[in-house]
Structure 1
Amino acid sequence: MEEAVESEAVRRRLAVAVIVAAALATALLLWAKWVPYGAKVPGLAGSGVWPGSDILRTGGVRAGDAPSWGAATSFTGAYARAVWRALLAALLISAALQTLVPRAWLLRLLNRPGRLQSALAGGLAGTPSMMCTCCTAPVAVGLRRRGANIAAVVAYWLGNPLLNPAVIVFLLLVAPWQWTATRLVVGALVVVGGAALVSRIAEGRSPAVPVVVDEVEDQGPSLRRYQAVLLRLGVTLVPEYLVVVMLVGAFRGWLLPLGPGPASGLLLVVVAALLGTALVIPTAGEIPVAQGMALAGLSLGGVGALLVTLPAVSLPGMVMVWRAFGWRVTVATAGVAAAGGVLAAGMLVLLTR
């Protein structure tokens, strides 16, 4: 009898913790993502013009400019102002997933039979949060530490930026329909098929890739553990994130030379895909970048590559996840994103003919 009462008390405590985690995530996403993005739609629908500027040009940096402290600080400041809400939300949500939601529940949701099914579950789970690649990294790290498989976690990480419904709507309102179609089709292929492929590459020789799981994962929800995990995430992820963002900002003048020039055709597309994979932008930042590059003379292939690679992966995001993912998964994910950029280039050219 006492055991039954105790078991019921444990179940009730777990249910309350899950409700708290869900309420926290919903409130944070409303504050950081859903309400601000919803407020943008009427203005974009009326004007058909994106109001923001290209963040890569912040501080007056032009293609070919040498690295400088001013370039680093101006970019980091502009980027931080654009993403701080989402990054804070991601840290708080990640800590909640690691300490308030039972591990078995998460694994039941994400670890499906077969890589494609797991990738589909991860991609669908990531779509509502609509975060950029760096802001979603803490949540992806938390999911991996809880034991979610590679296909699901990589799809979650990629699905947040690539299948962001707000950005899809923004593209429909301010860009040619071919841009939206390319982003949707190639984005879905990269998120589901790419994540499954990354899982296959990583697990090819050893199906059970080690997962770093918290030692106290079965102790049940607690505020103390929540605070400890949140502190660990902030101390380990945020400083390295800011350092890499500053480096990208400092060197962006050397990363910008895309447009008319000696490189053309497939070579230009590959260069655009690689640069897009390295650069970091806030959510929807690819729209003004791609529009500006197109006006400057970048080919349709180059624009298509940027539409996928700029949001999908970035150097700061890769630095944030590599310890939890492992170097093979991180590099393979970047490779899949770059390959998706090349595919997007071809699709956009075909659709625009």
Structure 2
Amino acid sequence: MPSMMCTCCAAPVVVGMRKSQSSIGAAIAYWMSNTALNPAVLVFMAFVLPLKFVVIRVLLGLVLVFGVSHLLNRLAPEKSVEMEKILPPPREQRLPQTPFIHRWWKQLKGLTLAIVPAYIITVFILGEFGFGCFPRLTRTGVTTP
């Protein structure tokens, strides 16, 4: 069942499938079909690349999804997973005892201290050296053709 997700977005679904005791073949088939047979990517490829590339991707995607998942289903031993290992602990055991606003502020500070310097450095580098990466730009602005 290909849907319009990338691999990183489909990974949590695959983890949930495995926690729900689906077979390894079904989980891998879902994960790989989202990447190889993503309808949005196939349509985009049809617009920008020759049609043979789209056909090759679809054919290899079908081999990957059905062939590899079937092979993994045959090779992987099925282990029964105990439900205690799957189920999360009760809610009162998971939540820290600090108030929500303190946890939120701590996360905001950490993200700000990580993102803002990286943003400033990126803007500085693109401002200084961007004209080399983008030929239509000069130090004074955009050139006209």
Q: Provide the TM-score with structure 2 as the length reference.
A: 0.55
Note if contact 1:147-1:213 (Cα within 8 Å) is conserved in structure 2.
Answer: no
CA pair 212-134 structure 1, distance change in 2 beyond 3 A: farther
Deviation at 1:211, TM superposition (A): 4.3
Q: 1:210 aligns with which of 58, 69, 79?
A: 79
Counterpart position of 1:172:
46
Q: 1:181 aligns with which of 44, 52, 55?
A: 55
- Give the SS at the match of 1:215: helix
CA pair 187-180 structure 1, distance change in 2 beyond 3 A: same
Note if contact 2:14-2:27 (Cα within 8 Å) is conserved in structure 1.
Answer: yes
Cα distance in 1, alignment partners of residues 85 and 18 from structure 2: 15
**Which structure: larger Rg?**
2
Deviation at 1:157, TM superposition (A): 1.0
Is 1:133 aligned to residue 12 of structure 2?
no
Deviation at 1:134, TM superposition (A): 2.2
Note if contact 1:145-1:211 (Cα within 8 Å) is conserved in structure 2.
Answer: no
Cα distance in 2, alignment partners of residues 166 and 142 from structure 1: 24
Letter in 2 for 1:148: S
Is 1:157 aligned to residue 23 of structure 2?
no
Cα distance in 1, alignment partners of residues 46 and 34 from structure 2: 18
Q: Note the residue ranges of structure 1 that are not aligned, 5 or more in a row.
A: 1-123, 204-208, 219-223, 229-353
Q: Provide the TM-score with structure 1 as the length reference.
A: 0.24
Counterpart position of 1:244:
none
Give percent identity, aligned residues only.
41
Counterpart position of 2:109:
none
State the number of aligned residues: 90
Name the structure, 1 or 2, with higher relative contact order (CA <8 Å, separation 6+): 1
Counterpart position of 2:68:
194
Q: Decide which structure has greater helix share.
A: 1
Q: Which runs of 4+ in 1 moved over 4 A?
A: none
Cα distance in 2, alignment partners of residues 194 and 140 from structure 1: 16
Q: Note the residue ranges of structure 2 that are not aligned, 5 or more in a row.
A: 95-145
- Give the SS at the match of 1:134: helix
Aligned ranges for residues 1-353 of structure 1 at < 5 Å? 124=1, 127-128=2-3, 130-203=4-77, 209-212=78-81, 214-215=83-84
Note if contact 1:143-1:153 (Cα within 8 Å) is conserved in structure 2.
Answer: yes
Cα distance in 1, alignment partners of residues 33 and 66 from structure 2: 8
